[in-house]
Chains A and B, each alone.
Chain A
Amino acid sequence: MKHIKCECGHVNPEGTVLCEACGKPIEVNQHIDGNDKKKLLNMRYEGSARRSTTYNKTIIDKIWNFFSSVKVAVWLIILALIASGIGTILPLEQYIPADAVSRDPAIFYPETYGLFGQIYFQLGFHKLYSSWWYLILISLIGVSLVICSIDRFVPLYRALKRQKAKRHQSFLNRQRFYSESELVSQEDIDAVKAQLKKQRYRIMEEEGHFVAEKGRFSRWGPYVNHIGLIIILIAALLRTTSFFYIDDYVWVREGELTVVPGTESEFYIENNEFILDTYDTEDERFKDAIAKQGQIIPSNFQTNATIYTAENSDVIGAEENLEELGEYQISMNKPAKFGGYTLYQQGYQLNEFSTMTFKIYEMNDSEAESLGEFTIDLFNLQTEYVLDNGFKVEVVEYYPDYSLTENGVRSKTNESNNPAFVFNLFPPNSEASEISFVGDVIGSAEDLGIDTSVVDLQPMANVIGAFAPSIDATGENEYRVLIDSIEFDRKSGLSIKRDYTLPLFGLGAIIFMIGVIQGMYWQHRRIWLHSKSNGILLAAHTNKNWFGLKKDIEKAIEGTSVRMVEDQKEDD
């Protein structure tokens, strides 16, 4: 490495612009910080030798220089900004509404948004924020952050540490704040020094010259805040691994006991009660707003649950050895926390069909006298049901969430939201059978003009009233099967999370805030006083807030014969 020895005796690394010790401009390097074109010295990095401005030969140099440029950083930020904006035009994959034409993105986007939606989907914008190129963009910002910080921090730290009180004259008179005074008495110099001390400047002296300095730590603010950002990026990377982050979901019916997924069968949950409170429509305060909304507004969703730990979760059938951990009331904004996991109240379903009872009638029986009945437990569906009097009912088709579309019948989901059956009915001692279709209670109710969408917050039976008749597909049936009664279930949807990256994110955020405040609300101020045989030179520099520095100087020289500095600021 080529070192540069200054006339003051200090040996500077290659690429130094201003001598680390005395500040004298090093002739051959003035172009680096653009000092050759200006009177004032560029003080941003103290004229220190930064790798990025010194070497530009190898490919590594080039990459280093690319990433250490703030211009590149700003471009990366702007690209990320535009990309993020585009991703908000249409809903993301995970926000496709439940009542959409299809939850398959390949169908949803073109169907709902036409050609634009097609293109949007094709370009992968529906999962933009997890797409490889978005992640690369964010990683590049991270790389830029690290390289930029190292490139500047190390030399800046060196330069500030090695600086001497005695500065070269050409350093002083090329500062923005500068003045020369003749015939200044030693008392005046001491008075200035005392004043500066009072203003909490630290004074360093050398051969009758001195520098008063304060707030140097604020120079590290940007590096501290960028370290915070880097920690956040690292946390985000760790979060993609399942050790650090577990995310699962469970539906539990009232009264049901089930394993909590994602916990390796360590924990079980029993839903004792699901509570849904709504606002009183007569409430003095809210009645206008509620009337305007025209619907019931919920005030609380809550699951009262008991959590159990399995004694020996490796053994199959561990459910027998459950030990109660405690009772929890889980509601929105009040999750349950246990064993490193957190359970959040997330969804609910009040009107899941659970059991349905059917009765068999003769087709043209005006008395409507039942020939027998059978009950289907939708969570424990049998293939056939044999009645006492010899009737046999075979379940040919079962649609838990029946819907009739242009493309035929299908089940929208696997939840029993609107069950429908195709039965094969065998009368007693008969080999011949007849087909009947029963179900689609919701569809029939809507055909009668009942709005079943309000059902969300109400018991379904209140809403649908009468039950649907069955359909005789062939018109030749002798019997018909009718729904006699339905029972509904209430179930609660809870999400399970375990996120070990949270403290890391928190730490990153705190460090970022500290760094921003440190850099923004304190400033690094230095005032040099250089004694000459016939007077003194006064110069000052700050990285921010020149106004404040000026006031400090005014106060310091008050009542002395030292001249106030002049602002030599040039227009850029």
Chain B
Amino acid sequence: MESLLNTSSTMLFTAFILYLVATFFFGFTIKDKTNEHRKSGFIGKLAITLTIIGFFAQLIYFITRWMASGHAPVSNMFEFVTFLGMCLVLAFIIIYFIYRINILGLFALPIAMIFIAYASVFPTEIAPLVPSLKSHWLYIHVTTVALGSGILFISFVAGLIYLIHEVDQHERTLRTVSLEVILYIIFLLLGFIIISTIYSSMNYNASFEYELNGKPVVANYTLPAIAAPNDGTLVTEGVMEPWFETPSWMQGADAGRKFNSVIWSFFTGTLLYLLTRLVLRKRVGAAIQPLLKHVKPDLVDEINYRSVAIGFPVFTLGGLIFAAIWAQEAWGRFWGWDPKEVWALITWFFYAAYLHLRLSRGWHGEKSAWLAVIGFGIILFNLIVVNLVLAGLHSYA
């Protein structure tokens, strides 16, 4: 048991490192003109091989953790987000073998790594399944949704590459600013991961007592408290005093702690971003653009569309059809307008709109790329905001 779990976490770490190394190798292929001949050179082959080995390492993580816990490891935020990262890698590998394009790896793998790192900010203990989750449909539903999302993420990756390549960086326009905002948001995510990792390696803890629905509860902060819970009192000694209180309109359990994490992510992410800007002396988008010289925009646009074409039916199957079947088995109602369900519906509608605009109204290229980015935002919204803020049946945390 104990050793299985150890193997499991070692393999996850191994996968992470392999993805990192593979990213570098994909980076080395950037000057490779062979890209254009749909044949990759030796370094490209090495990079994809490392990615595949990394994927298998993560698969072993998945299987051993399943053996250790007795249920498929997709039942809490840590497990689900990790799995999502794995699906993104799988989708990348599949798309890679259709189009043989190295540059995709340079963007897809770091995003997968961000997912895995983000996941590890959540509690990693194996948690028992509550009765409503005890169903084979849990596995079927969650794995298909994650796979569908992973494939749809590739359309975001392709869209992002397209935008960085195509958006004219000579002057400041709405397009350059929007693109920069997207990149900035990635920095915020990085900021959150970095700062959480630093403090959790120090075992930082500050506890607050406050009242929730008339009952006293304790909030454990793992980051120094800038924003205390509303009407909360600090009970841990020798830690930083909070600067202010979370406003009372932020509702729900742990609103203060979550708000505090958001503030920290903004601090760290913005600092990171500013430093980068200082070093680069231009927009981050403008700095990356020359690296993408050899990218063929048509091909990237094709990948954007193809991943939606593949991802959309898979997502429909997992996120709506299997979800409905399970809800029918468990609660006798296949649809309940729970926030998570509604956001799955929104995602589905959105990609349907994407397809209509593309197929019927000829929205190709840049328009499609922006849509792919928005679609990614909607899926992330469902994953992060709906889970952590709009609590419902599905909320893991």
Q: A84-B342, A286-B127, A289-B126 are in contact. Are A116 and B330 (CB under 8 A)?
A: no
CB-CB under 8 A from B3, the residues of chain A are: none
Whether A468 is near chain B, meaning CB under 8 Å from some CB there, is no
Give the size range of B's interface with the partner: 35 or more
Are B332's CB and A497's CB within 8 A?
yes
Q: Give the shortest distance, in Å, between A332 (CB) and chain B (any CB).
A: 4
> Cβ of B135: which chain A residues have Cβ within 8 Å of it?
333
- Interface pair B339/A289, CB less than 8 Å apart: no
Residues from chain B with Cβ under 8 Å of A285 in the complex: 1, 68-70, 126, 128
**Smallest CB-CB separation from B215: which chain A residue?**
A453
CB within 8 Å of B: which of A452-503? Answer: 453, 495, 497, 502
Bound-state CA distance A325–B123 (Å) is 47
Q: Are B357 and A74 in contact (CB under 8 A)?
A: yes
What is the 8 Å Cβ interface bit string for chain B, positions 117-131, against chain A (1 contact, 0 not)?
000000101111111
Q: A513, B353: Cβ atoms under 8 Å?
A: no
Q: Does B242 contact A (CB under 8 A)?
A: no
Chain B nearest CB, measured from A155 CB (Å):
16
Measured CA separation A298–B324 after assembly (Å) = 24
Which residues of B have CB within 8 Å of A85? 342-343, 346
Q: Does A48 contact B (CB under 8 A)?
A: no
Interface centre among A114, A247, A547 (most CB of B within 10 A): A547
> Is B346 touching A81 in the complex (CB atoms < 8 A)?
yes
- Inter-chain contact total with CB atoms closer than 8 Å: 136
Question: Are A292 and B123 in contact (CB-based, < 8 A)?
Answer: yes
Provide the main secondary structure of the chain B interface: helix
The verdict on A40 contacting chain B, using a C-beta distance below 8 Å, is: no
Q: What separation, in Å, do the CA atoms of A129 and B337 have in the docked complex? A: 8
> Which chain B positions have C-beta within 8 A of A100?
213
| Chain B 97-136: CB-based contact to A (< 8 A → 1; otherwise 0) | 0000000000000000000000000010111111110110
Is B245 interfacial (CB 8 A cutoff)?
no
Report A-chain residues with C-beta under 8 Å of the C-beta of B320.
509
Stretch at the interface among B262-270, B278-286, B311-319: B311-319
- The reply to whether B390 and A88 form a contact with Cβ atoms under 8 Å apart is yes
B302 interface neighbour in A247, A286, A547, Cβ under 8 Å: A547
Q: In the complex, what residue of chain A is closest to B218 when comparing beta carbons?
A: A294
Instruction: Check B1 against A284 for contact (C-beta < 8 Å).
Output: yes
Q: Does A240 contact B (CB under 8 A)?
A: no
Interface hits, B355-396 → A, CB 8 Å? 356-357, 359-362, 364, 386, 390, 392
Contact of A333 among B127, B134, B215 (CB under 8 A): B134
Residues of A within 8 A of B359 (CB): 544
Q: Is the CB of A513 within 8 A of B361?
A: no
For B42, the chain A residues whose CB sits under 8 A away are none
Chain A residues whose CB sits within 8 angstroms of the CB of B345 once the complex forms: 84
**Cβ-defined contact, A89 with B361, below 8 A:** no
Does B243 sit at the interface, judged by CB under 8 A? no
Residues of B within 8 A of A572 (CB): 362, 364
Contacting pair A112 B251 (CB below 8 A): yes
Q: Is A517 an interface residue (CB 8 A)?
A: yes
Known: A113-B251, A332-B134. A71 touches B361 (CB 8 A): yes
Q: List 22 A-B contacts (CB under 8 A).
A: A84-B342, A85-B343, A129-B337, A247-B333, A285-B126, A285-B128, A288-B126, A292-B123, A297-B128, A300-B134, A332-B131, A332-B134, A342-B332, A344-B331, A344-B332, A346-B332, A495-B331, A495-B332, A509-B320, A512-B316, A517-B313, A544-B359
